[in-house]
Amino acid sequence: MISDSLRTIEIETTSRCPLRCPACHRQNYYGAHKKPVPGKDISIEDFQKIVDHFDGIFFVGVISDPTTHPDLYSLLKMCVKKSKKVILSVAATHRSLAWFRRQFLLTRNKNVLWEFAIDGLPEDSHKYRINQDGKKLFEVMNMGRKLGCQVVWKYIIFKYNENDMQEAKKRASSIRVPLNFIKSVRWEGEMSKYRPTDKNNYAGTREWVSDYGTV
């Protein structure tokens, strides 16, 4: 993990994402106006400046997914070469297993953490992560772990998955992957239908639930 004592940066390396998660800021650019999502793919030259300056780099997925950058491999290679601490937050599933395997072989046994956003059991995660293939992402996560990468399963608690937390813990344990439950704080508007119905459903799992989270 990235230490607070290090110089770190959270960065969107692109503006692309194939998912349509309802609470994502990307949704502001769809609908009647169909405006393009602002931003562009970061260049190798610009990313080099970031690698030269920061100790830790967090590839976030606020309006994009890092796997959509056309040359993520080169960006990761730059980080690995200079022994940077890296976190990648991944939810999209458009890339092939072979593509992920290549990234994993580069980052195996390195200080690179892959966070996989699978909200609910893999077969249900698409209920919020619209267009996500949760089963495939679970397979990708397991492959990364087998290849020697640091991986973690991030599970935001929603109405449709709040009763599946114990089963998720069993599945995570079966492949020896850490599981982090996240409580969201964003329930306005359309998100109200996703809000968990009863916090008592967390009984027996509360010790794994983070106090905050985003979607």
Which residues are CB-neighbours of 75 under 8 A, at least 6 positions away? 13, 42, 44, 47, 69
Tell me the C-alpha distance between 101 and 130, whole Å: 24
Residue-level pLDDT at 2: 45
Q: Tokens standing for 52? A: 């030269």
pLDDT tens for residues 54-78? Answer: 999 999 988 899 999 999 999 999 9
Higher pLDDT, 34 or 195: 195
Stretch 196-204: mean pLDDT: 61
The proportion of the chain whose per-residue pLDDT surpasses 70, expressed as a percent, equals 87
How would residue 198 be classed by pLDDT, with cut points 50, 70 and 90?
low
How would residue 12 be classed by pLDDT, with cut points 50, 70 and 90?
very high
Q: Which domains does the chain have, with CATH numbers?
A: 8-210 (3.20.20.70)
Residue-level pLDDT at 189: 86
Stretch 10-30: mean pLDDT: 88
Q: Tokens standing for 139? A: 């397979």
Report CA-CA distances (Å) from 26 to 22, 41, 43, 63, 130. Answer: 9, 16, 22, 6, 13
pLDDT tens for residues 117-162? Answer: 999 999 999 999 999 999 999 999 999 999 999 999 999 999 999 9
In the predicted model, what is the mean pLDDT of the chain? 89
On the question of pLDDT at 212 being above 50, the answer is no
